[in-house]
Amino acid sequence: MTPLLEARRLVRAFGTRRAVNDVSFGIAAGEALALFGPNGAGKTTLLRLLAGLLKPNSGAAAIADATLPAPHARARVGLISHRTMLYDTLTARENVRFAAHLHGVPEADASTQRALELLRVADRADVPVRALSRGLQQRVAIARAIVHGPDVLLADEPYTGLDEQGASALTGLLLERRRAGAALVVVTHALSEGLAVASHAAVMRGGSFVRLEPTQGLDVARYAAEYRELFA
Protein backbone atom coordinates (compact mmCIF):
# COMPACT_ATOMS: atom_id res chain seq x y z
CA MET A 1 0.00 0.00 0.00
CA THR A 2 1.38 3.41 -0.88
CA PRO A 3 1.82 5.39 2.28
CA LEU A 4 -0.35 8.41 2.89
CA LEU A 5 2.11 9.94 5.33
CA GLU A 6 5.75 9.31 4.68
CA ALA A 7 8.98 10.32 6.38
CA ARG A 8 12.14 9.87 4.34
CA ARG A 9 15.45 10.08 6.24
CA LEU A 10 14.34 13.04 8.33
CA VAL A 11 17.07 14.92 10.14
CA ARG A 12 16.57 17.93 12.37
CA ALA A 13 19.31 19.43 14.50
CA PHE A 14 19.32 22.26 17.00
CA GLY A 15 22.84 23.61 17.03
CA THR A 16 25.04 20.54 17.24
CA ARG A 17 22.37 18.28 18.77
CA ARG A 18 20.39 16.04 16.43
CA ALA A 19 16.87 15.87 17.83
CA VAL A 20 15.67 13.74 14.91
CA ASN A 21 18.37 11.58 13.42
CA ASP A 22 17.58 9.85 10.13
CA VAL A 23 14.00 8.72 10.73
CA SER A 24 12.02 6.97 7.99
CA PHE A 25 8.61 5.35 8.01
CA GLY A 26 5.37 5.19 6.05
CA ILE A 27 1.75 5.08 7.22
CA ALA A 28 -1.10 4.14 4.91
CA ALA A 29 -4.61 5.52 5.10
CA GLY A 30 -6.48 3.98 8.02
CA GLU A 31 -3.29 3.09 9.86
CA ALA A 32 -1.97 4.65 13.03
CA LEU A 33 1.52 4.86 14.49
CA ALA A 34 1.92 5.06 18.25
CA LEU A 35 5.19 6.74 19.15
CA PHE A 36 6.71 6.00 22.54
CA GLY A 37 9.94 7.12 24.15
CA PRO A 38 11.37 9.09 27.07
CA ASN A 39 11.54 12.85 27.32
CA GLY A 40 14.07 14.35 24.97
CA ALA A 41 13.91 11.43 22.55
CA GLY A 42 12.79 13.71 19.73
CA LYS A 43 9.13 12.69 19.52
CA THR A 44 7.75 16.22 19.65
CA THR A 45 10.34 17.45 17.16
CA LEU A 46 9.38 14.64 14.80
CA LEU A 47 5.72 15.53 15.14
CA ARG A 48 6.43 19.19 14.46
CA LEU A 49 8.32 18.19 11.33
CA LEU A 50 5.32 16.14 10.19
CA ALA A 51 2.98 19.06 10.90
CA GLY A 52 5.04 21.49 8.86
CA LEU A 53 5.95 23.60 11.90
CA LEU A 54 9.64 22.88 11.39
CA LYS A 55 11.76 22.40 8.29
CA PRO A 56 14.07 19.40 8.26
CA ASN A 57 17.81 19.92 7.84
CA SER A 58 17.78 17.04 5.38
CA GLY A 59 15.30 14.42 4.26
CA ALA A 60 11.63 15.07 3.68
CA ALA A 61 8.16 14.42 5.02
CA ALA A 62 5.27 14.16 2.62
CA ILE A 63 1.51 13.59 2.56
CA ALA A 64 0.72 11.67 -0.62
CA ASP A 65 2.48 13.79 -3.24
CA ALA A 66 2.61 17.02 -1.25
CA THR A 67 5.91 17.71 0.50
CA LEU A 68 5.81 19.36 3.89
CA PRO A 69 5.98 22.16 4.99
CA ALA A 70 4.34 23.57 1.85
CA PRO A 71 0.90 25.07 2.55
CA HIS A 72 -0.99 22.59 0.39
CA ALA A 73 0.56 19.77 2.43
CA ARG A 74 -0.18 21.48 5.73
CA ALA A 75 -3.80 21.83 4.63
CA ARG A 76 -4.17 18.07 5.01
CA VAL A 77 -2.89 17.97 8.59
CA GLY A 78 -4.88 18.16 11.82
CA LEU A 79 -2.85 18.79 14.96
CA ILE A 80 -3.84 17.85 18.49
CA SER A 81 -1.59 18.65 21.41
CA HIS A 82 -1.64 18.49 25.18
CA ARG A 83 -2.21 22.24 25.03
CA THR A 84 -5.61 23.00 23.59
CA MET A 85 -4.45 25.72 21.16
CA LEU A 86 -7.82 27.37 21.72
CA TYR A 87 -8.71 30.97 22.49
CA ASP A 88 -10.35 30.63 25.86
CA THR A 89 -12.42 33.81 25.79
CA LEU A 90 -14.11 32.68 22.57
CA THR A 91 -16.77 30.00 22.47
CA ALA A 92 -16.19 26.49 21.20
CA ARG A 93 -18.20 27.27 18.10
CA GLU A 94 -16.18 30.42 17.39
CA ASN A 95 -12.91 28.55 17.81
CA VAL A 96 -13.90 25.73 15.48
CA ARG A 97 -15.48 28.06 12.95
CA PHE A 98 -12.31 30.17 12.86
CA ALA A 99 -10.32 27.06 12.00
CA ALA A 100 -12.86 26.16 9.33
CA HIS A 101 -12.55 29.60 7.76
CA LEU A 102 -8.77 29.49 7.86
CA HIS A 103 -8.81 26.23 5.96
CA GLY A 104 -11.34 27.53 3.47
CA VAL A 105 -13.90 24.85 4.35
CA PRO A 106 -17.04 25.38 2.25
CA GLU A 107 -20.17 25.91 4.39
CA ALA A 108 -18.11 26.60 7.46
CA ASP A 109 -21.08 26.87 9.83
CA ALA A 110 -22.45 23.46 8.86
CA SER A 111 -19.02 21.82 9.08
CA THR A 112 -18.48 23.42 12.47
CA GLN A 113 -21.79 22.04 13.74
CA ARG A 114 -20.95 18.58 12.40
CA ALA A 115 -17.54 18.57 14.07
CA LEU A 116 -18.98 19.72 17.38
CA GLU A 117 -21.69 17.04 17.21
CA LEU A 118 -19.15 14.34 16.37
CA LEU A 119 -17.19 15.27 19.49
CA ARG A 120 -20.43 15.49 21.50
CA VAL A 121 -19.82 19.07 22.63
CA ALA A 122 -22.51 20.75 20.53
CA ASP A 123 -24.70 21.45 23.56
CA ARG A 124 -21.88 23.47 25.23
CA ALA A 125 -20.77 25.08 21.99
CA ASP A 126 -21.75 28.64 22.80
CA VAL A 127 -20.00 28.93 26.14
CA PRO A 128 -16.53 30.49 26.44
CA VAL A 129 -13.98 27.71 26.31
CA ARG A 130 -12.50 28.62 29.67
CA ALA A 131 -15.81 27.71 31.33
CA LEU A 132 -15.47 24.11 30.12
CA SER A 133 -13.76 21.26 31.93
CA ARG A 134 -10.38 20.05 30.73
CA GLY A 135 -11.96 16.99 29.11
CA LEU A 136 -14.50 19.07 27.20
CA GLN A 137 -11.81 21.55 26.17
CA GLN A 138 -9.80 18.67 24.72
CA ARG A 139 -12.85 17.58 22.73
CA VAL A 140 -13.28 21.10 21.36
CA ALA A 141 -9.59 21.08 20.46
CA ILE A 142 -10.09 17.86 18.53
CA ALA A 143 -13.17 19.26 16.81
CA ARG A 144 -11.04 22.20 15.73
CA ALA A 145 -8.39 19.83 14.44
CA ILE A 146 -10.76 17.77 12.30
CA VAL A 147 -13.26 20.35 11.02
CA HIS A 148 -11.44 20.59 7.69
CA GLY A 149 -11.41 16.83 7.22
CA PRO A 150 -7.65 16.23 7.41
CA ASP A 151 -6.13 13.08 5.92
CA VAL A 152 -3.45 13.07 8.58
CA LEU A 153 -4.05 13.51 12.29
CA LEU A 154 -1.06 14.20 14.53
CA ALA A 155 -1.54 14.00 18.29
CA ASP A 156 1.10 14.95 20.86
CA GLU A 157 0.31 13.55 24.31
CA PRO A 158 -3.45 13.92 23.75
CA TYR A 159 -4.31 11.87 26.84
CA THR A 160 -2.72 14.40 29.21
CA GLY A 161 -5.16 15.60 31.84
CA LEU A 162 -8.01 13.36 30.72
CA ASP A 163 -9.89 11.22 33.18
CA GLU A 164 -10.89 7.63 32.38
CA GLN A 165 -14.08 8.65 30.64
CA GLY A 166 -12.32 11.29 28.60
CA ALA A 167 -9.53 8.87 27.70
CA SER A 168 -11.87 6.18 26.43
CA ALA A 169 -13.83 8.79 24.46
CA LEU A 170 -10.58 9.93 22.87
CA THR A 171 -9.58 6.37 21.98
CA GLY A 172 -12.99 5.81 20.40
CA LEU A 173 -12.61 9.00 18.45
CA LEU A 174 -9.16 8.18 17.11
CA LEU A 175 -10.31 4.73 16.03
CA GLU A 176 -13.28 6.33 14.27
CA ARG A 177 -10.90 8.65 12.41
CA ARG A 178 -8.90 5.64 11.31
CA ARG A 179 -12.05 4.00 10.00
CA ALA A 180 -12.78 7.21 8.09
CA GLY A 181 -9.46 6.72 6.29
CA ALA A 182 -7.13 9.09 8.10
CA ALA A 183 -3.51 8.27 8.94
CA LEU A 184 -2.57 8.93 12.54
CA VAL A 185 0.58 9.49 14.53
CA VAL A 186 0.01 9.49 18.28
CA VAL A 187 2.79 10.41 20.68
CA THR A 188 2.00 9.23 24.17
CA HIS A 189 3.43 8.04 27.46
CA ALA A 190 0.41 5.83 28.01
CA LEU A 191 1.53 2.52 26.52
CA SER A 192 -1.81 0.71 26.79
CA GLU A 193 -3.83 3.57 25.30
CA GLY A 194 -1.34 4.00 22.49
CA LEU A 195 -1.31 0.30 21.62
CA ALA A 196 -5.12 0.18 21.72
CA VAL A 197 -5.39 2.93 19.12
CA ALA A 198 -2.52 2.07 16.81
CA SER A 199 -1.78 -0.36 14.02
CA HIS A 200 1.95 0.14 14.45
CA ALA A 201 4.16 1.06 17.37
CA ALA A 202 7.57 2.70 17.44
CA VAL A 203 9.98 3.51 20.22
CA MET A 204 12.19 6.52 19.85
CA ARG A 205 15.44 7.17 21.65
CA GLY A 206 18.15 9.73 20.99
CA GLY A 207 16.45 10.88 17.79
CA SER A 208 16.10 7.45 16.14
CA PHE A 209 13.62 4.63 16.05
CA VAL A 210 14.91 1.71 18.08
CA ARG A 211 11.77 -0.36 17.54
CA LEU A 212 9.11 -0.30 14.86
CA GLU A 213 6.53 -3.04 14.43
CA PRO A 214 2.84 -3.76 13.83
CA THR A 215 0.73 -3.92 16.97
CA GLN A 216 -1.31 -6.89 15.86
CA GLY A 217 -0.64 -9.81 18.14
CA LEU A 218 1.51 -7.76 20.50
CA ASP A 219 1.27 -8.68 24.14
CA VAL A 220 0.85 -5.43 26.02
CA ALA A 221 2.40 -6.64 29.26
CA ARG A 222 5.47 -7.99 27.51
CA TYR A 223 5.83 -4.87 25.39
CA ALA A 224 5.67 -2.76 28.56
CA ALA A 225 8.30 -4.90 30.25
CA GLU A 226 10.63 -4.70 27.25
CA TYR A 227 10.03 -0.95 27.09
CA ARG A 228 10.98 -0.52 30.73
CA GLU A 229 14.09 -2.57 30.13
CA LEU A 230 15.13 -0.38 27.22
CA PHE A 231 15.27 2.62 29.49
CA ALA A 232 16.41 0.99 32.69
Smallest separation, CB 144 to other proteins (Å): 7
Among 86, 136, 142, 182, binds other proteins (CB under 8 A): 86
End-to-end CA distance of the chain: 37
Q: Single out the residue of 126, 127, 103 nearest to residue 113, CA to CA.
A: 126
| 10 contacts other proteins (rule: CB under 8 A) | no
Q: Which of the stretches 29-37, 64-72, 191-199, 219-227 binds other proteins when contact is defined by CB under 8 A?
A: 64-72
Q: Which of the stretches 23-31, 52-60, 113-121, 196-204 binds other proteins when contact is defined by CB under 8 A?
A: 52-60
Site for other proteins in 192-221 (CB under 8 A): none
DSSP one-letter code for 5: E
| 148 contacts other proteins (rule: CB under 8 A) | yes
Rank residues 150 and 215 by Cβ distance to other proteins and give the closer one.
150
Q: Torsion over CA of 30, 179, 76 and 187, rounded to 10 degrees?
A: -70
- Write the DSSP assignment of 110-167 as a string of letters: HHHHHHHHHTT-GGGTTSBGGGS-HHHHHHHHHHHHHTT--SEEEEESTTTT--HHHH
d(C-alpha 94, C-alpha 75), whole Å: 20
Smallest separation, CB 159 to other proteins (Å): 17
Binding site for other proteins (CB under 8 A): 14-17, 51-55, 69, 71-72, 74-75, 77, 79, 81, 83-90, 94, 98-99, 101-106, 128, 144, 148-149
